Structure 1
Amino acid sequence: MTTNIVQKNNRPVFPFTAIVGQDEMKLALALNVIDPKIGGVIIMGDRGTGKSTTIRAIADILPEIEVVADDPFNSDPTDFELMSDEVRQILEAGNTVSTSSKKVPMVDLPLGATEDRVCGTIDIEKALTEGVKAFEPGLLAKANRGILYVDEVNLLDDHLVDILLDSAASGWNTVEREGISIRHPARFVLVGSGNPEEGELRPQLLDRFGMHSEIRTVRDPELRVHIVEQRSDFDKSPQECLKKYQEQQDSFKRTIVDAQKRLPETNIDYDLRVKISQVCGELDVDGLRGDIVTNRAARAHAAYQGRTEVTVDDIKSVITMCLRHRLRKDPLETIDSGDKVQKVFDEIFG
């Protein structure tokens, strides 16, 4: 039985399936949810193009996850990679833990956040006087198994962006202070958004994001009118709007769950992997991150489409988003719109 979305939230969220005109951004988010190891997505585009709305909408639609009850890290009760050391020790000792279900966490990282707020802090006084590791979890702990969203990521301090990217890549956060060290799982989908007019991220940081989605203002007048009407209808009566899209929302949720289950069985042919690496070589992409992300995203796309074998069309659908932001060597250059990637793709894949 489907539970009405409004009943589960105090504040209704605009339905993900109702968002039109931003297909690239929606696809990038869906693929990262299917396989968080893709490495997140940075969404750059004009103001007022629905970046924040879309990100909140996909977090709202995702199926609930099972967590260890009252655990500050949203520990998975079965997967050692997604549980805290304390929970793992309890299970390894042969004891059981109580579990509960909760919505996928969606954590906003404010621009003014400090490193302590992001990573968490250790209470040294308590540790020394009581002999316990007193740890106050930060935003990375709350975001484990969820989505960590940074609006205006291009204005965030480079040092903090580095910390976020390191945690997203390793799946763990380690806090060290005065000889005391605490680590906890921090596997999340990192989503950054921003307006390129306010500055770009350094190429070294850009390269660490799995995908790059470019958003442009919709120019078609009829589509613009349709979007404005949709938003007005939602603001007027959120319940009616959500009811109208409930079937599509449920269908999308099932598609995501099926794709997540199908992903481990999804294969990409050796010849296709070689051609992906040829494209990366031809485009002079530094390192192997571009090759790895394109392979992962192509597999996630095939699973999303209901298949276990990757096709050339799967690669074509994702390769621009996986590579366009890796072509910029000079911080003063602008990011390629994708034409260069598509041109080389067409040459190599025919």
Structure 2
Amino acid sequence: MRAGIFALGAALVVAGSLGAQAGTLDDVKQRGSVVCGVAPNNPGFSFASADGENRGFDVDFCKALGAAIFGDPAKVTLKVVQPRDAFTTLTTGGVDVLTHRFSWTFNRDNGGGIEFTQPVFFDGQAFMVRKADGIKSVKELDGGTICAAQGTTTELNVADYFREHGLTYKIATFDGTDATRLAYDEGRCDAWTNDRGSLASRGQGLKNPTDHIILPENISKEAISPIVRDNDPQWSHLVKWVVFSTIAAEERGINSANVDEIRAASTDPEIKRLLGVGDDLGQKIGLSPEWAYNVIKQVGNYGEIFERNLGTETPLGLERGLNALWTNGGVMMAPPFR
């Protein structure tokens, strides 16, 4: 009798666990779209283009989820979320995933009900200054006033860096990135600090963007990752492996233009697994065998996503840097698809 009760209890635990794991994906499929939280007005990352379409690096990873789940990158509902509201919106079910500009930190990843998945962008905190001031290094900001967004890791990093290097400064904090940019543009501080990618992006909104430069030093390391709730392992794994599929495709030389040819002709076992030929890896994360093929065909590999939104031929003009593949001096790599 005790064995029977134990077996029944174990079955209920397993059933409950499977139900919890399938929750977000089931909700997404029933709804017919992924609700993806994105940052407001962040050129290159998340912004409304002149034709009214939402575009950007972060938006493309939302579209990649739509392609993986539904075979259609348009099956995404983009929800602009202010940074101060983002984590609450996620944990209360207002969005399924955040592809925001939030750095992965210990405190954010522990105890807040959220989980970082896989970094899609490696960044570092930097400083923007006016060319006319002739400043070439962060150390020349000794005694200066720094504009920063209130209550962010950028404010804390400035304190750590200036203390460590024996520099003095005054901090001027503002509610949100846009307010900080406006204050800097009005001359209320000597420098504006944020992640380098965000400075390049938000700097497009200055009155005269070409009158400013970003200093060469980074004072921190920042890993930017899609964020999900921490109570749904299957959804977390799905988001993570959708990111990995774009990186693996670039590693293997597969892109949106040649994926059909490679899928039809390749005899490489890992490429065949990635593209859903033979092995069905999708079943383990609740997707079709062609999920990664759909991502690559309809959204592109990691390099395509980076270059069309952030790369050297865009207004942001960012080099790949750490975001290059590990084979090209960066840190981007995907675990094996096997």
With the length of structure 1 as denominator, give the TM-score of the two structures: 0.25
Q: Which has the higher helix share?
A: 1
